[in-house]
């Protein structure tokens, strides 16, 4: 494989629709990157099904498999290093990335959040709760954010954001669908920007 190809790991917990969007965009846009590993805290998930379909290695990693948290984070770090992973993309990963991994991959872990950070972020602000809070706050727009991951939930540097309107009569579910479609466009754009060395 050419030296300029960045080896990517995606971390997922669910359906993996962002993983799909990223995988597709990498091929369509001929980005200098390849997703070589899909990590999940769940042994069975849509993301793993997609990975298997595309020949991407899957790795189930959960704290429960280890005697201590330290062993878990060491195993995660070893797995990434052993595969020469250059960039980690969190795509619907519902766990906090261990601090040792965040430290080893400083500025090389990205996350997509389904709101316009810094609003509607932080611990406990995930999934449908985010959209419920946005509607309850009477916001006229929401959107998606791709940001770098640091030790605090949703606090790393923002790389890219894109807005969607909150429409009259929106339910958390209808807003979630609009935001998810936005994430699928935004995440590949942010990846492309990062790979091009843009800030």
* DSSP annotation string for 90-114: ESS--SPPPHHHHHHTTT-EEEEES
- For residue 162 the two structure tokens come to 């894109």
| Residues pairing with 185 in the sheet | none
| Residues pairing with 33 in the sheet | 6
- Residues 67, 28: Cα–Cα separation, whole Å: 42
Residues 78-117 that bind ligand GRF (CB under 6 A): 91-92, 112-114
Q: Are 62 and 41 in contact (CB under 8 A)?
A: yes
Which residue out of 23, 27, 60, 113 is catalytically annotated?
113
Is the CB of 73 or the CB of 183 nearer to ligand GRF? 183
Figure out which of the listed residues 6, 17, 40, 142 binds ligand GRF, where binding follows CB under 6 A: 17
x/- track of binding to ligand GRF for residues 29-48 (CB under 6 A):
--------------------
Identify which of 117, 115, 162 has the alpha carbon closest to the alpha carbon of residue 135. 115
DSSP SS3 for 88: strand
x/- track of binding to ligand GRF for residues 46-75 (CB under 6 A):
------------------------------
- Residues 172, 79: Cα–Cα separation, whole Å: 37
Is the CB of 6 or the CB of 18 nearer to ligand GRF? 18
Is 180 one of the binding residues for ligand GRF (CB under 6 A)?
yes
Is 183 one of the binding residues for ligand GRF (CB under 6 A)?
yes
To the query of whether residue 113 is one of the catalytic residues in this protein, the response is: yes
Residues with a catalytic annotation lie at 113
> Would you tell me which residues interact with ligand GRF (CB under 6 A)?
12, 14-18, 91-92, 112-114, 126, 180, 183
């Amino acid at each position: 494989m050419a030296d300029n190809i960045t080896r990517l790991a995606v971390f997922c917990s669910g359906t993996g629709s962002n993983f799909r969007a990223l995988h597709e965009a990498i091929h369509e846009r001929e980005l200098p990157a390849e997703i070589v590993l899909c990590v999940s805290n769940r042994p069975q998930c849509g993301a793993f099904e997609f990975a298997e379909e595309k020949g991407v290695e899957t790795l189930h990693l959960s704290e429960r498999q280890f005697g201590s948290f330290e062993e878990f984070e060491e195993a995660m770090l070893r797995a990434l290093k052993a595969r020469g992973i250059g960039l980690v993309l969190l795509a619907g990963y519902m766990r906090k990335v261990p601090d040792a991994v965040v430290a080893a991959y400083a500025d090389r872990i990205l996350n997509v959040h389904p709101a316009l950070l810094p609003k509607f972020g932080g611990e406990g602000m995930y999934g449908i709760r985010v959209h419920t809070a946005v509607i309850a706050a009477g916001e006229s727009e929401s959107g998606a954010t791709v940001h770098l991951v640091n030790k605090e939930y949703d606090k790393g540097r923002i790389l890219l954001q894109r807005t969607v309107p909150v429409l009259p009569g929106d339910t958390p579910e209808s807003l979630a669908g609009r935001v998810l479609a936005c994430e699928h466009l935004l995440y590949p754009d942010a990846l492309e920007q990062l790979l091009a060395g843009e800030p």
